[in-house]
Amino acid sequence: MSNPKNLTAYRTWNRKYWMLALALLIALTGLEARTYFVEKALGQYLAWQNPGREKVGRQWQVEQKRLLAGTRLEKISKELRSREKQLASIPNFLELIRRVLQENQLVIPAQHFIRLYHTLPFFLKEHVIAPDSLIALRLQDRLDNVILNREADGVEMVLIDAQSRIENILYLSNELLDVFFKHGQSEVVDVTSDPRFAGRVFRFELFWQNLSQLPKGMQNNFLQAMPDLLTLAGPTAKVAISNKISENLVEVAVAPDNFRAVIYYLPEDWIINFVSTLEYPWMQNEEQDIL
């Protein structure tokens, strides 16, 4: 007969053995399950990150929306870059007006408008917008864009603030635009026989003598406004003042000979100041040095 003590010890050992085996089996099963889920999650992540994967259902819709948004953003960015490049390529205010006349409408940011505005001669800026008014708009952050529209009688300029509200509407008449385009340009003309200069043609020497009687600041204004006074000065040169006045600007011609002249447009008050220096204004006989 078996010893009861040995039987009890055997049963205890056997139970511990099977419990240990069961615990080991559970641990191995848990580890295997954990490895499975980790691998599955990792696989799903890698599949999601694979740009070449096929999308289905909601995942496909989300991806399509993302691609569409990216395409639109790139298109907008490309258009903005192209527009900025086009605006930056406009060299001066006259070219801006030419673009408006060709395209009928042009929207230009304030910084580009101001850059082009500064390419105008200082005495012509006032005919677009007074410099102090432009400064006030910028200081108060009331100018964001300028819309230029071609009209039958000229160009309309609409000043827009950051909230797309109209701050002011200005007009450049066709007559004024004609002045802008002709100012500083050479023209085939004989000032001694053209009716619009009749009785107002000065030998260069006499013109210069009378100009020298004006205050230095006024003399400098004439020299800045008419740079060809220096380049075309000579014994045969003449300066002619027209009877034509456009937008309070007087046509003045600097002619090196009887075949051509460079045309300028000067403020009427400048010409009045110049005329005040003449002892006998608008005399026409050569003995009095006016041709």
Type of residue numbered 281: P
Q: Select the more confidently predicted residue: 40 or 233.
A: 233
Angle, helices 110-117 vs 93-103, to 10°: value is: 120
Q: SS3 of 10, please? A: helix
Q: What is the DSSP string of 100-126?
A: HHHHSEEEEEHHHHHHHHTTS-HHHHT
Question: Taking a C-beta distance cutoff of 8 angstroms, is the pair 261, 228 a contact?
Answer: no
Q: Which amino acid is at 66?
A: R
Question: What separation in angstroms does the CA of 122 have from each of 12, 171, 217?
Answer: 111, 19, 14
Q: For the residues 38-45, what does the mean pLDDT come to?
A: 65
Which H helix or E strand runs over 22?
helix 4-49
Specify whether the CB–CB gap between 221 and 123 falls below 8 A. yes
Q: List for the chain the helix, strand, coil content (%; round to 5).
A: 55, 20, 25
User: pLDDT value at position 237?
Assistant: 94
Structure letter (DSSP) for residue 226:
-
Beta bridge partners of 185: 263
Decide if pLDDT at 196 tops 80: yes
User: Quick count: other Cβ atoms within 10 Å of Cβ 2?
Assistant: 7
Q: What is the pLDDT of residue 283?
A: 43
- Kindly report the number of other CB atoms within 10 A of residue 180's CB atom: 20
Q: For residue 244, what pLDDT is reported?
A: 87
The per-residue pLDDT for range 86-116, each reduced to its tens digit, is 778 899 999 999 999 999 999 999 999 999 9
Q: How many CB atoms lie within 10 A of CB 251?
A: 21
Q: Is 272 exposed, middle or buried (0-12, 13-18, 19+ CB in 10 A)?
A: exposed
Lowest-pLDDT choice from 77-91, 114-128, 192-206: 77-91
The verdict on pTM exceeding 0.75 is no
Q: What's the CA gap between 284 and 291, in Å, rounded?
A: 6
Residue 43 has pLDDT above 90, yes or no: no
The alpha carbon of 98 is separated from its chain's Cα centroid by a whole number of angstroms, namely 15
Per-residue pLDDT for 53 more than 70?
no
**Interior CA angle at 34 toward 33 and 40, to 5°?**
90
